[in-house]
């Protein structure tokens, strides 16, 4: 399978949201990535259900929703109803992770688990059979425009080996500081899905940037 690209809406111009989503619709992007922040799990607040629902009605791409919130179990069904195709929760935020991801799948969504930069991927060994994707944060979560953490490459390689050793059908997604320079390195390390925010939306030609991110490594 060729890798996927998911532009991150957090970096879009929210005064011109319909046009930004339409740009993604017209591009080679595979998904549209939405970061939900509550100001508690991370030190920032992004947007909630009204924005997700509006984007759902505008987007022709599946919505890849990343919950950076405490106690995500409260809202799983509401995010399904708001339009999420993929729903990713944080390892660090879930008290009963197996129950949470099982419920995400029961609701008809793909289930993802995210790990912060300080969290070892070896802790995911027991949950891999029950999920569809692992999201590795390559910056500290909460704000866009941060610098990629180089040590993330080793985590990606370790996770790739864990998945391949058991033959799990689990995608590896990365988010944080992704650009045209480090994308080939990440893909070579075993990444399946590139999330890019500022690299796409701050460009004078975001459709071309998405096309270049889709190029084989």
Would residue 35 show up in a list of annotated catalytic residues for this protein?
Answer: yes
Phi and psi angles of residue 139, each rounded to the nearest 5 degrees, phi first: -140, 170
Name the active-site residue from 30, 38, 132, 175.
Answer: 175
Report how far residue 182's alpha carbon sits from residue 148's, in angstroms, rounded to the nearest whole number: 9
Would residue 175 show up in a list of annotated catalytic residues for this protein?
Answer: yes
Name the active-site residue from 30, 35, 38, 64.
Answer: 35
Report how far residue 55's alpha carbon sits from residue 12's, in angstroms, rounded to the nearest whole number: 12
Report how far residue 166's alpha carbon sits from residue 83's, in angstroms, rounded to the nearest whole number: 32
Is residue 205 classed exposed, middle or buried when 0-12, 13-18 and 19+ CB atoms within 10 A define those classes?
A: exposed
Query: Is 61 within 8 Å of 31 (Cβ atoms)?
Result: yes
Q: At what angle do helices 49-58 and 17-25 cross, to 10 degrees?
A: 50
Which is nearest to 112 in space by CA: 48, 31, 179? 31
Query: Is 170 within 8 Å of 130 (Cβ atoms)?
Result: no
Starting at the edge strand found earlier in the chain, the sheet holding 110-115 runs 4-7, 193-196, 171-175, 133-137, 110-115, 84-90, 63-68, 32-37
Return the active site residues: 35, 175
């Amino acid at each position: 399978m060729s890798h996927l690209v998911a532009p991150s809406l957090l970096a879009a111009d929210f005064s011109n949201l319909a046009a930004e989503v339409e740009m993604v619709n017209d591009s080679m992007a595979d998904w549209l990535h939405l970061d939900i922040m509550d100001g508690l799990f991370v030190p920032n607040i992004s947007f909630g259900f009204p924005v997700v629902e509006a984007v759902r009605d505008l987007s022709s791409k599946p919505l890849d929703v990343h919950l950076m919130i405490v106690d995500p179990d409260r809202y799983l069904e509401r995010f399904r109803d708001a339009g999420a195709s993929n729903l990713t929760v944080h390892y660090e935020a879930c008290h009963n992770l197996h129950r949470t991801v099982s419920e995400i799948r029961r609701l008809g969504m793909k289930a993802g688990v995210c790990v912060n930069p300080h969290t070892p991927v070896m802790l995911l060994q027991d949950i891999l059979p029950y999920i569809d994707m692992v999201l590795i944060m390559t910056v500290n979560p909460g704000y866009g425009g941060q610098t990629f953490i180089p040590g993330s490459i080793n985590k990606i390689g370790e996770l790739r080996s864990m998945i391949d050793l058991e033959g799990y059908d689990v995608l590896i997604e990365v988010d944080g500081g992704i650009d045209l320079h480090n994308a080939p390195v990440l893909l070579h390390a075993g990444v399946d899905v590139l999330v890019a925010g500022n690299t796409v939306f701050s460009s004078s030609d975001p459709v071309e940037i998405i096309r270049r991110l889709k190029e084989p490594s």
